[in-house]
Structure 1
Amino acid sequence: MKIMWTTTLYEACQKNEMNVVEASDEPQQPFQLCQQCHERLLTYSLRPIEWYNLAVLHSPKQFLLHDDFYGEDGQAFQLEEEVIITKSEKAPTLQAVRHDLESLLDFSITRWFLEDDVIDALKQHDQQKILASIKSRFNETEHAEVKSRMVRNRG
């Protein structure tokens, strides 16, 4: 586990400055976290929205985000630290994101499997806009799992 210290943006809480880079399954795209989120990541105690934000960028199949530790709604199963979760710290639902294409694509990445309800929601959007967004996302990520989901979304 390699930790580097720097200051830039954040990925999990999207509130604090990033000051920890944690190795991920994809060496070219490590987790970028604040100290508090880093500690929660390592203790399997992320808040649902933190898990969601990381899963969108890194895929829920990353070891530290895996379904052994979290549900698709970001609920921690094996937390080592007690975490209080407010309503604003819950992960988005399909109902909440279905009408916004970018949010819906984010949501699709966090699913373990691309199920019919998500596919049906995607079909409600303009196919050219979906294709453009998927191409952009595919080219911007280093994560094989995220790339794979983008290819499946296109199909």
Structure 2
Amino acid sequence: MSAHRAVAGARGLVAGAVLAAALAAGAARAEAPPTTIDHATLGDTESRTPEISTADLTDVIARGSAAVIDTRSFAEYAISHIPGAISVAERPGLAKARSASDVGEIDRVLGGRRDTAIVLYGNGPFDGSTRRIADHLAVAGYTNVRRYQLGIPV
């Protein structure tokens, strides 16, 4: 092999190594996925309110830093609920699939304090009531509403 070909081959290897290093550095800067299942969320970005993970909810409960509200029916709450969670009345006149906590009842339970930190949870990832109620609370002027969208399926 000629000296010219050897130099050209070496340049190609160096260029390839530089490209690989640049790609690896870019990938390292990309947002990393959650490190454990406890830090995962559904990734819902279409709601007016943010989701929290199981780890976040555990911290909220340990610190007592928010009112945790169960948005499910009284029957589901009676079967299983997060200790300390508040069950609020279902909206009268709605089918079970759309029946959810009423903003007026949440107002009553929280004394109308719209700046109260709130975490809502419902019947799991496919239960749209948690997101719907969170959006209603945001429209009603509540400023610190978060959702544990993974919920407690019954």
Using structure 2 for the length normalisation, give the TM-score.
0.24
Rg larger in structure? 2
